[in-house]
Amino acid sequence: MPAQTPMQLGLFAPESSQRQLRLTEAAVSSSALGVCVLGSGSGGNSTVVTHAGRAMLIDAGFGPRTTGERLHKAGVELKDIEAICLTHLDQDHFRPHWTRTLLRHRIRLFVHSKHADELLAIESAGDLLRCGLLQTFDDAFEPLPGLRSVPIDLQHDSAGVVGYRFDSADGCGLGYATDLGHVPSTLLEYFRGVGVLCLESNHDPRMTQESGRPVWLNRRNMSDGGHLSNEQAYAAVCEICRQSQPGLPRYVVLMHRSRQCNDPCKVREVFEQNPEVWRRVTLTQQHCATRWFSVQSPQQINVAV
């Protein structure tokens, strides 16, 4: 099977009604878990996840207008979004002016309890709490009916971030982790057997050192509390594949690639060491969305095109 091109934009045009989505047949199947990364990088991060015809976001690092435009191209409307799960509160993962949109569309915002105080310092965030739209968590929860989310505490800067494993009742799994400086063994265990794996592959160490950026920034990004290098991401993906059933994860989506300190060719050089892994890889972009990935069962994964 030839290596995938970095991006393929999936276009859909159906209308939506009362938050019950009419996407492709794969995306609305009661046993399907659909994933589309709307964009990923230092300029913004957001991913739409569908389950049983309903939709949510992981992170909201683009403004509501940009998010709405990208959602529309992917066959979802902003008013269809029922929930947003945040990894952390850096502005490339959550834009503060989203609070007004959340209130208007009655979208629930899920945030780890360790990030709650930081969120409540944002203007209008208290209104979310008073309206019952702000929900904190420490353990597993359901952002959509029948979709179980297990949070994973990860190291990044002082407040840390949250990774997620999402599972449907039928066993469809998604692993999602970004902005982590190293991969703990617990993360490998949590992501074992997922159908779609979304993982950060942020930088090439040599490009980072030669980037001309401040020394303190490079040290931070390359530290255990910073971002994953291509080599770290590759090692993690290979280990998750080794621990999983044959063929899983079928799709590996590499996120948050640095524009200054990484390059698709550098990612390819690393991941092509294992052709079986590389053929599963899709690279995200900052300014456009990926295709849809639809997990229909633990053994069968299709791509909606």
| CATH assignment at residue 113 | 3.60.15.10
pLDDT one-digit tens code per residue, 222-258: 887 889 999 999 999 999 999 999 999 999 999 999 9
The pLDDT confidence band at residue 169, using thresholds 50, 70 and 90, is: confident
Residue 18 in domain: no
Q: DSSP state, 205?
A: H
Q: Establish if 218 belongs to a structural domain.
A: yes
Domain that holds residue 29: 25-304
Average pLDDT over residues 274-286: 97
Residues belonging to the chain: 305
Sign of CA dihedral 23, 47, 56, 198: positive
pTM for this model (two decimals): 0.88
Q: Work out the pLDDT band at 86, boundaries 50, 70, 90.
A: very high
| Cβ neighbourhood burial of 104 (10 Å; 0-12, 13-18, 19+) | exposed
Selection from 147, 154, 280 nearest residue 225 by Cα: 154
pLDDT digit string, tens, across residues 175-198: 999 999 899 999 999 999 999 999
Cα–Cα distance, 92 to 87 (Å, whole number): 11
Specify if 4 maps to a domain. Answer: no
**DSSP secondary structure of 86-129:** -S--STTTB-TTHHHHHHHHT-EEEEEGGGHHHHHTSTTHHHHH
> What's the chain's average pLDDT?
87
What are the residues whose beta carbons fall under 8 Å from the beta carbon of 159, sequence distance 6 or more? 88, 89, 114, 115, 118
Residue 47 belongs to a domain: yes
Evaluate whether residue 272 is within a structural domain. yes
User: Into how many domains does the chain fold?
Assistant: 1
Is residue 200 one of the residues assigned to a domain?
yes
7 domain-assigned: no
Three-state secondary structure call for residue 215? helix
Is residue 10 in some structural domain? no
